[in-house]
Chains A and B, each alone.
Chain A
């Protein structure tokens, strides 16, 4: 089986139907072909990207992205343990919700990153600007992902960036959430390194930034 022959349609269908058992079965059969984690990583990422794209097009819902992310994370973590797979910890990645207590967006990105095998530090939600700045420095993060719900919180991301730059923190910052979806230029206005408008794109953005891209 080449990566082109991955059972993406069947896996996607099981995720959209919130069918954990079927998703697990497909995942396992895919993994057991040659015990290649790359293969299942591709399966989950390509499927989640299709679902993410479907959300952009109005075909799928936010709840379906969330459920799909959670199922993929659960399966991936099970296999990481079961087959003693090494977690990717090349970069220190942290994720936080600035000011707001709604954590769904953060959870979706967290699940997607975990599904891809990244180690992610969940900094929490309802956090103040200073808490996020301090946590970023304390953990020596390479990547900080900030999720927001309200426009006022999204605008406060600019202060987070400013304070981190003042403290010479060598961290790449990605911001996302509803306000960033409704204003395509907002990420530039608040001076972050990338727009995390679509959760399923975040792993790709991280790799791009890590390789010097914007």
Chain B
């Protein structure tokens, strides 16, 4: 089976030849090429080269065209702060007062150099890999983007106390999100990973999410012209798994803090699970620990299909060693062969 066939079987809740591996490597590409992170993201060709190299090196079953979290905020006029040893971060919020929302405009994708760079990388990668491996594009949920646009504190004030301005911002963000997702699909992405950490009760209580973010996600996902995976970026998912299924998402990125067996039971045939290795803790792992953790995870989550092995946050920290990534892949290739042996 090639990667695409393996992933499609998994999405159809069938057992492929082995568990698919999604090492979600973005900033890690700079390490692969041995260049500074800022330089790495300055050219689409860098991302293309690194993704192709890392796919081969780590037997990765996906190409990941996610550059970095502040990208969409950058399209709205936000600042990106590059670091030498970690993913870029957002600078000062672009929305300083809630009243500024009324004059905010939807960015034009064809006029944004950073967004165009992602589309170029997607297009070049599609030309290179064809239909052999899925290309995963990324959008931020309109419900989560304001954390970067205006800062978390101000956003919570908006969410809880300023419904009119909240709805106005959501309209702008929804419009952008749908356009951005569909532009990536048009450029060659196979599927879209919809990052929505605020759907997790770790961050927002379910009642509030159902009143607000859930409705938005349903609307967005129905208008994205391709399959979507919803990722809660290490937030717990169990209390909202049925809600995520109801949005039409085919995959759920789950947390290292979730109870896998209960989640697996609820997910069965309804949604495919993606996760849930703890990337932060992985920095401390040796090869033996990596093998133990991966084996444990596979035995719980893989039987019956519907499971893709990945980290729980949606991005591999640059501090994780190559040796550990290789060990994870080797373990999946041996322990993750179907049928899974469960003692």
Binding site for B on A (CB under 8 A): 16, 18, 55, 58, 60-64, 66-67, 99-104, 107, 126, 149-153, 155, 178-179, 182-183, 185-186
Contact = CB atoms under 8 A, between A and B. Distances in A.
Contacts of A104: 152-153, 156
B317 A151 contact: yes
A178 B255 CA distance: 13
Contact of B151 (A55, A102, A152, A153): A102
Contact of B278 (A61, A67, A152, A182): A182
B202 A101 contact: no
Contact of A182 (B89, B93, B234): B234
A151 B202 contact: no
Interface in B35-92: 81, 83, 85-87, 89-92
B87 to A, nearest CB: 7
B239 interface: yes
Main secondary structure of the interface of A (DSSP, over half): helix
Given A61-B203, A67-B160, A152-B83, 5 more contacts: A58-B236, A103-B151, A104-B153, A183-B278, A183-B281
A107 B153 contact: yes
Contacts of A55: 202
A178 B85 CA distance: 17
A62 B165 CA distance: 22
Main secondary structure of the interface of B (DSSP, over half): loop
Nearest to B258: A58
Nearest to A154: B280
Given A102-B151, A152-B85, A182-B234, A63 B284 contact: no
Contact of A151 (B81, B86, B239): B86
A100 B89 contact: yes
A63 B151 contact: no
Contacts of A155: 85, 319
B204 A182 contact: no
A16 B201 CA distance: 13
Interface string B320-334: 000000000000000
Nearest to B208: A63
23 contacts: A55-B202, A58-B238, A62-B203, A63-B156, A63-B203, A64-B205, A66-B152, A66-B153, A99-B89, A101-B90, A101-B151, A102-B147, A104-B152, A126-B91, A126-B92, A150-B83, A152-B318, A182-B278, A182-B279, A182-B280, A182-B281, A183-B284, A185-B284
